[in-house]
Amino acid sequence: MKRPILIHPDPRLKQVAAPVDDLSDARLSLARDMLETMYDAPGIGLAAPQLGVMERLIVLDCVKEEGETPRPLVMFNPEILAASEETGTYEEGCLSIPDQYADVTRPSEVEVRWIDETGAERTEGFDGLWSICVQHEIDHLRGKLFIDYLKPMRRQMITRRMQKLKRERAREAG
C-alpha cells in the first residue's frame, strides 16, 4: 500500500528515529509499503521517518538501468561501520524535498551493518550511487536532510520553495 510522504519542513523529519527491537508483522508490512511507495514516487531510497514513522528502517534500490533485475534492500537499524577517506560529490534529491537538487560531498565508500527482513544480521560494503543513497537514508534516521549540508542561504531558499509547495497542495486539497 502506497503511503503519503512527508514534505519538508515537517518537524518529524528533524527527529532522531528509535531503534527497531523486533520484526513484527506490522514492521514487515511497513517495509513492503515503503518499497511500493519508493518505486511509485519514483525514488531509489526511503526512510521510515519520511512516512511519519519514527523507527530506524530504510529501503533502497539503486538499480536504475532498464531491463536490469531490481535489488530492493530492507534495512532495520542500519549503521555505518566504516567510511572511506576518499569522497565524492553527487547531485542529491529527496522525496521529501521534491524537485530540488544540490551537490553533496560524502565518503565514496561505506561499510554498513543492518538487520534484514528475515532477522539476519548483514554487513556489506557500498560504493557509487549505493554508497550515496545508503548514507542519505541513514541521515534521515538521525533527523538530517541533504539540505543540511548546504550553505544557509541555499537551504533557506529551498525551504521557502517547500513551504510554498505545501501551501499550494493544501489549497488544491481543500
4 sits in which H/E element: none
Ramachandran assignment for 102, one of left (phi > 0), alpha (psi -120 to 50 degrees), beta (any other): beta
Q: Which helix (H) or strand (E) holds 45?
A: strand 45-47
CA distance 90 to 87: 10
**Catalytic one of 55, 92, 109, 137:** 137
Pairing relationship of beta strands 109-115 and 45-47 according to DSSP bridges:
unpaired
Cα distance between residue 98 and residue 6, in whole Å:
10
**Average pLDDT over every residue of 71-93:** 97
pLDDT beyond 90 at 66: no
Catalytic residue list contains 91: no
22-58, pLDDT tens digit by residue?
A: 999 999 999 999 999 999 999 999 999 999 999 999 9
Confidence of residue 163 (pLDDT cuts 50, 70, 90): very high
* Separation between Cα atoms, residue 154 and residue 165, nearest integer Å: 17
